[in-house]
Amino acid sequence: MSGENSCLSQPIAVHGNKPECLTEIFRDEVNLAVWERELPGGSTDFACHFSREAGAFERFVGIEAGEDVGQILPAWAQSLPGAKTWLADVNEMVEMFSCLFEPAAVGVRLHVLPDTMCPRFHTDRVPVRLLVTYTGRGTEWLPENQVTRGKPSAPLPDQAVSATDIQVMPTGAVSLLKGRSWIGNENRGLVHRSPAPGARPRLVLGLDWLD
């Protein structure tokens, strides 16, 4: 995770249909790695059912090695059809994130979002974040050639872009977003935002690196 910004090329995004593509995030020039996949059978039904019943929901837990990810769900949701399949997928995400980055613990955040959580384009003040949208429109992001960046110490300026410039992370895809706290990636974090509200709530999983 080292390197000097002056020596780096323009940040790029990498997409693939195998989980190994996520290791591309360790390349200095990559600030987004996306594993495009089909969701496990049953998890989509659970996601739709849970998000509809919950309406709006947010929970954050810190998970250490061997801990049960089931605590991320309220008790009533754990008996919904497909819950075990969905939790197994979340556990796989936590194990994958832990294997890649070896954090002391993983911060697991779950949102059901009927409204837009982060409508403004921004970068994350983290080294790296994993996102999976299980139902609803995926997170929107900008390729680097469409990004306007200010000074490293200043907030990101408003982005004057057209709808055709905006990219969308596919629903179900596993995305690693490099933030501005990744060493050597200052002022180069992926620029992204939550999409506008759709016909149904979004169910979004986020994993963060805890020391």
Q: Is 117 helix (H, G, I), strand (E, B) or coil?
A: coil
Express each pLDDT in 50-69 by its tens digit.
999 998 899 999 999 888 89
Domain borders along the chain are 5-210
* Res 66: pLDDT: 82
- Would you identify the CATH topology of the domain 5-210? Jelly Rolls (2.60.120)
pTM, entire model: 0.92
Express each pLDDT in 68-79 by its tens digit.
899 999 999 999
* Distance of alpha carbon 74 from alpha carbon 13, whole angstroms: 35
Q: What angle do CA 125, 137, 45 make, to 5 degrees?
A: 115
Beta strands in the chain (DSSP E): 12-16, 30-35, 57-63, 105-113, 128-135, 140-141, 167-168, 174-178, 192-193, 202-210
Strand partners, 209: 106
* Distance of alpha carbon 171 from alpha carbon 140, whole angstroms: 11
